[in-house]
């Protein structure tokens, strides 16, 4: 076994060489040169042992002093063991350790104490439970044996040693490595022990201290040190690495990850105040076939902040919600901002102390594959969270029955009154309201409420529901009837299960048993005894009972997608609903008609609006374009000029105005409008040619 020792040493030296090279690369990061002295000291000295690589990279990516200050605030807040107190106990203790290291652990070296081996581990681990000092011994070099109680959750043994020694009894104390240094390094030359005789070295150490002899072979007190053979434990190197990583193991860096992904979508006040959450996104269809995306975002109580009045009779906050949906090509289909004022009674607040807060809502989304994101911002403490999912919204037809989605809930109930005709409330269809299980999480023994909707199906149809394991094996199977509104509700009991990932598959069967449609969704079974469920649910949703509103919103989304014909059809349905308060539907439809070269139809919609909406850009600009397309250039100049004063114009309006000026004999006004158009969109060859012809006159 003796030849193996140099191999272990070679591997270990190589590993430490790589670590040193990595540290040199990090220190040489040119981004550090851009930092102020204060921020250089913070990243290179104060938090060098406790900051994660992700946090370090984000900090060095920041451009402004203000951003770095906000990051540092968030950095310490993430490590605060008790946010309810005004002091950050972790931060106070961390700087105490640095002060101690610099005051007492750098005395025997020209370096600052935090840079020494003892300083590094003192800052990481704090005060040892016990220190044995072996100074002034004739047999051994100066050595200090530190004893710690560890935390297995942090990757350290329950109890362990760290041994520091002065090599050749000279210089500063450095960390002893059993596999590199070996027991002989702890002995002075006076004993005459051969450098290759580990067993003799161990015996010599035992005469001084049995604990010291054990620690020279293994730092883990639970291991049986090879005292007889004198061979060092191969687990020491791993243990040391875990100790050095221990301050980083329990830290969630999602706030730094979130800044990289969403920093440009929230204001500076929120930028590093990301909090984790759980979410669910589910689809339900209206009788018309339009689909609503229902979503629930759950935030644990320690991450949900509220304010209270003086007598603590009311607790409140305001949430700002931003909803976006984009196609696979990045086209923005939905962009909605909402505000929610949350008020809670003392009893509700007491319940929220141990249970999560849930915000539930819905929004309309046209068929297609979309990436949906919801940013929820809490004005108290300026915290935010993000929920995202890729959704395939099906094209539904009453003539082709199909499943809309499979939804997993932990509870469902029959309401006393059904939703209004034609209305789908948030997580409610007909009289059935349900509570979704965010992230599809359940525990062994739970009952899963399986909800699905068979759009266009009759009560003669049937739905098969299967629970599959990771290999695709069917573990449970049930058949469910299709009810009113195509609603299907049934239950799966998760008995005789083990923790893991599963899948629930719903299949719509025709009256003859033919497969018509299928949907599937993941289900996670946790081995824990309970799953987090909300204690306070704030529920709102789109008022789909407003005549024409759904058609109008669908029209806007089809317009964003460039689907002019479908947008026109939806706007026509919105206008035809008879809702006189839905005025924007009229000017949107007029715009669609103009794109289809139908100025007379556009004029019929816009003229009645001019008196009441004479300051509305869309109305006045639309009238200007109708005049232009009908050849009434004088009228076009009048309306397009008015529109230009109501809102910054685009190139299309400026070009129409310029051409109208030309046609009415005003080349100077035409020249100015063309020039402004080119400032907005330089690459317009035809406009450049028209402007050149005017300049040549």
pLDDT tens column, 4-28: 333 344 444 444 443 444 444 444 5
Averaged over 110-135, what is the pLDDT? Answer: 96
Helices (H) then strands (E): counts for the chain: 20, 23
Residue percentage of the chain with pLDDT more than 70? 94
- Residue 626: what pLDDT? 97
What's the pLDDT tens digit per position in 526-541? 998 899 999 999 999 9
To which H or E segment does residue 293 belong?
A: strand 291-299
> pTM of the full predicted structure?
0.82
Averaged over 120-149, what is the pLDDT? Answer: 95
- Residue 595: what pLDDT? 96
What's the pLDDT tens digit per position in 233-277? 888 888 999 999 999 987 888 899 899 888 888 888 898 999 999
Contacts with 74 (C-beta within 8 Å, 6 or more apart), sequence order: 255, 272, 273
| Position 419 pLDDT exceeds 50 | yes
- Residue 1: what pLDDT? 32
Average pLDDT, the chain: 91
The residue that leads in pLDDT, 229 or 373, is 373
| Position 477 pLDDT exceeds 60 | yes
What's the pLDDT tens digit per position in 273-292? 999 999 999 999 999 999 99
Query: Residue 202 to residues 197, 239, 524: CA-CA distances in angstroms?
Result: 9, 22, 53
- Residue 5: what pLDDT? 37
**Sheet strands (E) in 88-242:** 130-134, 143-149, 159-165, 174-175
CATH of 549-695, one of 1.10.357.10, 3.40.190.10, 3.20.19.10, 1.25.40.10: 1.25.40.10
Residue closest to 175 by CA, chosen among 166, 184, 183, 305: 166
- For the chain, the straight-line distance linking the first and the last C-alpha, in angstroms and rounded, comes to 99
Does CATH place domain 275-539 in 2.60.40.2550? yes
Residue closest to 341 by CA, chosen among 299, 386, 307, 300: 307
Cβ atoms 497, 525 nearer than 8 A: yes
What's the pLDDT tens digit per position in 623-657? 999 999 999 999 999 999 999 999 999 999 999 99
Long-range Cβ pairs for the range 554-561 (8 Å, 24+): 554/290, 554/364, 554/366, 555/585, 555/588, 555/589, 555/592, 556/588, 557/333, 557/334, 557/364, 557/365, 557/366, 558/366, 559/588, 559/592, 560/331, 560/332, 560/333, 561/327, 561/331, 561/333, 561/366, 561/368
| Position 204 pLDDT exceeds 70 | yes
Q: How confident is the model at residue 196 (pLDDT cuts 50, 70, 90)?
A: low
Distance (Å, rounded) from C-alpha 529 to C-alpha 450? 21
Averaged over 88-106, what is the pLDDT? Answer: 96
| Position 62 pLDDT exceeds 90 | yes
Averaged over 609-627, what is the pLDDT? Answer: 96
| Domain spans in the chain, listed from the N-terminal domain onward | 128-250, 275-539, 549-695
Lowest pLDDT segment from 177-186, 364-373, 586-595: 177-186
Q: How confident is the model at residue 578 (pLDDT cuts 50, 70, 90)?
A: very high
- Residue 156: what pLDDT? 87
The single-letter DSSP state of residue 683 is -
Distance of CA 557 to the CA centre of its chain: 26
The single-letter DSSP state of residue 642 is H
Averaged over 300-320, what is the pLDDT? Answer: 92
| Position 312 pLDDT exceeds 90 | no
| Position 345 pLDDT exceeds 50 | yes
- Residue 602: what pLDDT? 97
Cβ atoms 434, 428 nearer than 8 A: yes
């Amino acid at each position: 076994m003796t030849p193996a020792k140099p191999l272990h040493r070679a591997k270990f030296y190589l590993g430490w060489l790589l670590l040193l090279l990595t540290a040199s690369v990090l220190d040489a990061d040119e981004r550090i040169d851009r930092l102020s002295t204060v921020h250089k000291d913070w990243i290179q000295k104060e938090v060098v042992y406790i900051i994660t690589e992700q946090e370090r990279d984000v900090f060095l990516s920041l451009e402004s002093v203000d951003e770095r200050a906000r990051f540092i605030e968030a950095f310490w807040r993430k490590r605060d063991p008790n946010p309810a107190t005004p002091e950050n106990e972790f931060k106070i203790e961390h700087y105490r350790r640095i002060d101690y290291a610099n005051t007492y652990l750098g005395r025997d070296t020209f370096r600052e104490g935090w840079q020494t081996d003892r300083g590094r581990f003192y800052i990481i681990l704090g005060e040892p439970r016990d220190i044995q000092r072996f100074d002034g011994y004739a047999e051994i070099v100066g050595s200090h044996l530190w004893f710690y109680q560890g935390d297995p959750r942090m990757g350290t043994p329950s109890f362990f040693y760290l041994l520091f020694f002065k090599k050749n009894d000279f210089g500063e104390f450095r960390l002893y490595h059993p596999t590199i240094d070996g027991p002989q390094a702890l002995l002075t030359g006076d004993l005459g022990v051969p450098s290759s005789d580990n067993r003799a070295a161990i015996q010599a150490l035992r005469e001084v201290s049995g604990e010291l002899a054990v620690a020279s072979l293994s730092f883990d007190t639970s291991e049986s040190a090879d005292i007889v053979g004198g061979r060092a434990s191969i687990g020491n190197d791993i243990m040391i690495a875990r100790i050095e990583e221990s301050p980083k193991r329990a830290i969630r860096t999602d706030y730094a990850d979130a800044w990289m992904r969403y920093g440009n979508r929230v204001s500076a006040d929120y930028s590093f105040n990301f909090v984790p959450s759980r979410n669910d996104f589910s689809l339900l269809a209206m009788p018309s076939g339009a689909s609503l995306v229902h979503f629930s975002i759950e935030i644990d109580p320690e991450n949900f902040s509220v304010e209270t009045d003086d007598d603590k009779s009311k607790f409140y906050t305001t949430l700002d919600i931003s909803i976006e949906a984009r196609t696979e090509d990045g086209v923005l289909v939905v962009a909605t901002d909402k505000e929610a004022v949350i008020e809670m009674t003392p009893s509700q607040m007491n319940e929220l102390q141990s249970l999560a807060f849930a915000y539930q809502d819905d929004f309309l989304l046209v068929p297609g594959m979309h990436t949906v994101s919801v940013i929820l911002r809490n004005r108290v403490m300026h915290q935010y969270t993000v929920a995202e999912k890729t959704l395939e919204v099906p094209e539904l037809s009453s003539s082709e029955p199909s499943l809309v989605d499979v939804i997993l809930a932990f509870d469902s109930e029959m309401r006393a009154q059904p939703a209004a005709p034609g209305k789908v409330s948030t997580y409610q269809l007909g009289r059935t309201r349900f509570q979704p299980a965010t992230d599809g999480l359940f525990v062994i023994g739970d009952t899963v409420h399986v909800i699905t909707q068979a759009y266009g199906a009759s009560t003669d149809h049937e739905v098969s529901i299967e629970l599959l394991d990771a290999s695709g094996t069917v573990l449970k199977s049930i058949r469910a009837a299709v009810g009113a509104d195509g609603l299907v509700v049934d239950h799966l009991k998760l008995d005789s299960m083990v923790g893991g990932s599963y899948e629930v598959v719903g299949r719509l069967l025709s009256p003859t048993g033919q497969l018509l449609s299928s949907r599937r969704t993941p289900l996670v079974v946790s081995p824990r005894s309970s799953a987090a469920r909300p204690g306070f649910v704030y529920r709102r949703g789109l008022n789909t009972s407003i005549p024409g509103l759904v058609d109008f919103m669908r029209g806007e989304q089809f317009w964003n997608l460039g689907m002019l014909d479908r947008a026109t059809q939806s706007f026509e349905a919105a206008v035809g609903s008879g809702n006189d308060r839905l005025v924007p539907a009229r000017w949107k439809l007029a715009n669609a008609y103009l794109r289809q070269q139908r100025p007379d139809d556009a004029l019929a919609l816009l003229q009645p609006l001019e008196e009441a909406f004479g300051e509305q850009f869309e109305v006045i600009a639309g009238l200007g374009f109708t005049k232009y397309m009908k050849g009434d250039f004088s009228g076009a100049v009048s309306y397009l000029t008015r529109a230009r004063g109501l809102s910054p114009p685009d190139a299309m309006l400026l070009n129409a105005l310029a051409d109208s000026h030309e046609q009415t004999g005003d080349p100077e006004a035409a020249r100015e409008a063309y020039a402004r158009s080119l400032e907005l969109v330089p690459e317009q060859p035809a406009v450049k040619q028209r402007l050149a012809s005017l300049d040549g006159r």
